[in-house]
């Protein structure tokens, strides 16, 4: 037997019945009211059905990832490795932003996580103890071994502006064209485990949005290598004024010649710019293996259209609401409250006041419970499972 979910059309009928006596025809956008009521519902109670999961790939040495688009705030419930390899000590700790940044390199087991919002983009910062340690191809903190060519000039070590202490490499790209930095590693590195699956990361800082692409050649000689060119950073467009990760996924690389994977020592980085850029900086160059995990979180994406697509937006009144009866009942009352207020009602209005009491119960002036509401009963049966931010004894 399958669950019979309600539709938006059924919700509209139910809300109209609750608001008898109020003229809801004055509400210009009832759909917006229904979507807003869902946010109120999720802020008030933890709804098990209003959850979803994504597969995310983490990498050792990389801490910034795009947060799920439909996550409700930072309402994370769990991060777990794929399969059944999770141990009893693999906890998920959500930390305050500053504490995470201080301790991100010291995650003994499981996952550390925090959330940031930067210029409207949600970031999920994660430290994954289960990822296989990265291999540093070159720390890129001294000029020794690096040969500049093309439009690259003035290559120096910069000890005041760097991705990782003690320095970065700073150079100028003169005019439009391509400049290169090449190096022969000593000793060579066996990358058998990384062949066709590893991702090479480069920390890059540019002074202006004049960079067209960055290309990596990684091989056993200047005639035998894997080659890959990218036109954006790991999280999106190249960032100006800050170090950003550039990712080269070897599964997408082109093979030139016959690179010997057990003796990789050739690196060539090419930077193509549209005009002169002074003081371009590069930091640590390393390769990491993917560490897939499943993130489980609360979401407002509970509306399913007739094609089976799930969204946080209502498309039509035939959309299905993916809530079971108890949660749907709460949602119906919240929609009625929101629609009633938008129709010109007030909290003192008898109909709306009755809806509020039904949802929240009644309390005395001292806070004592006089009558339990639907939320009281629902939360008792469905306690919140969100991973909360914590501090440590030492920080406190």
DSSP letters for 72-111: EEEEEEEEEESTT---TT--EEE--HHHHHHHTT---SSE
Torsion angle of alpha carbons 355, 360, 362, 363, nearest 10°?
Answer: -150
pLDDT surpassing 90 at residue 335: yes
With H, G, I as helix, E, B as strand and everything else as coil, classify residue 358.
helix
pLDDT surpassing 80 at residue 25: no
Provide the β-strand partners of residue 281: 170, 205
Cβ-contact 193, 312 below 8 angstroms: no
pLDDT in tens, 44-67: 999 999 999 999 999 999 999 999
R_g of the chain, CA atoms, integer Å: 27
Cα(331)–Cα(212) distance, integer angstroms = 49
Q: Which of 99, 153, 123 is nearest to 245 (CA)?
A: 123
Q: Identify the residue whose tokens are 């289960």.
A: 130
* DSSP classification of residue 184: E
- Specify the pLDDT at position 27: 78
Cα(108)–Cα(112) distance, integer angstroms = 10
Q: How confident is the model at residue 22 (pLDDT cuts 50, 70, 90)?
A: low
With H, G, I as helix, E, B as strand and everything else as coil, classify residue 373.
coil
Q: Identify the residue whose tokens are 């930091």.
A: 283
**Residue-range domain boundaries for the chain:** 6-48+321-381, 51-132+292-297, 135-288
Look at 215-219, 253-257, 258-262, 382-386 and tell me which has the smallest mean pLDDT: 382-386
**CATH class for domain 135-288?**
mainly beta
* 305-330 burial code (b ≥16 CB/10 A, e <16): eeeeeeeeebeeeebbbbbeebbbbb
* DSSP classification of residue 282: E
* Token pair belonging to 37: 């009521």
The length of the chain in residues reads 396
pLDDT surpassing 80 at residue 23: no
- Specify the pLDDT at position 45: 94
Q: How confident is the model at residue 347 (pLDDT cuts 50, 70, 90)?
A: low
pLDDT surpassing 60 at residue 390: yes
DSSP character string of 324-385? -HHHHHHHHHHHHHHHHHHTT--TTSHHHHHHHHHHH-EE-TT--EEE--HHHHHHHHS---
* φ/ψ of residue 44, rounded to 5: -95, -30
Quote the mean pLDDT of the chain: 93
Cα(180)–Cα(56) distance, integer angstroms = 33
Cα(213)–Cα(225) distance, integer angstroms = 19
pTM: 0.90
State CA 143 to chain mean position distance.
35
Cα dist from 344 to 21, 25, 356, whole Å? 12, 11, 16
The stretch 149-160 carries a mean pLDDT of: 98
* 263-282 burial code (b ≥16 CB/10 A, e <16): bbbbbbbbbbbeeebebbbb
Cα(176)–Cα(188) distance, integer angstroms = 34
Cβ-contact 151, 106 below 8 angstroms: no
């Amino acid at each position: 037997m399958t669950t019979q979910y309600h539709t938006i059309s059924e919700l509209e009928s139910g809300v109209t019945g609750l608001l008898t006596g109020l003229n809801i025809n004055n509400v210009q956008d009832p759909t917006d009211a229904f979507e807003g009521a869902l946010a109120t519902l999720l802020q008030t109670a933890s709804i098990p059905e209003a959850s979803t999961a994504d597969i995310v790939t983490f990498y050792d040495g990389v801490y910034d990832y795009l947060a799920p688009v439909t996550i409700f705030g930072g309402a994370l419930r769990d991060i777990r490795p794929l399969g059944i390899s999770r141990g009893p000590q693999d906890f998920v700790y959500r930390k305050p932003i500053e504490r995470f940044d201080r301790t991100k390199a010291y995650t003994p087991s499981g996952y550390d996580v925090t959330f940031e919002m930067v210029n409207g983009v949600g970031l999920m910062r994660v430290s994954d103890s289960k990822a296989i340690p990265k291999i540093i191809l070159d720390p890129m903190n001294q000029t020794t071994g690096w040969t500049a060519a093309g439009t690259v000039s003035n290559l120096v070590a910069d000890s005041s502006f760097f991705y990782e202490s003690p320095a970065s490499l700073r150079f100028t790209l003169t005019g439009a064209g391509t400049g290169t930095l090449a190096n022969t590693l000593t000793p060579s590195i066996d990358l058998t485990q990384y062949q066709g699956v590893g991702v090479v990361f480069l920390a890059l800082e540019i002074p202006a949005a004049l960079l067209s692409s960055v290309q990596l050649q990684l091989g056993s000689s200047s005639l035998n290598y894997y080659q890959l060119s990218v036109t954006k950073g790991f999280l999106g467009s190249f960032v100006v004024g800050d170090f950003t990760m550039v990712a080269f996924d070897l599964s997408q690389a082109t093979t030139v010649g016959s690179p010997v994977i057990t003796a990789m020592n050739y690196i060539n980085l090419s930077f193509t710019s549209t005009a002169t850029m002074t003081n371009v900086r590069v930091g640590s160059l390393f390769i990491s293996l993917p560490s897939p995990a499943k993130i489980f979180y609360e979401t407002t994406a509970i509306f399913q259209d007739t094609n089976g697509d799930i969204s946080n937006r209502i498309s039509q009144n035939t959309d299905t609401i993916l809530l079971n009866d108890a949660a749907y009942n709460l949602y119906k009352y919240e929609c009625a409250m929101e629609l009633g207020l938008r129709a010109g009602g007030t909290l003192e209005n008898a109909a709306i006041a009755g809806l509020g009491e039904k949802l929240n119960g009644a309390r005395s002036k001292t806070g004592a419970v006089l009558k339990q509401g639907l939320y009281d009963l629902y939360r008792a049966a469905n306690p919140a499972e969100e991973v909360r931010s914590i501090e440590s004894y030492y920080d406190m």
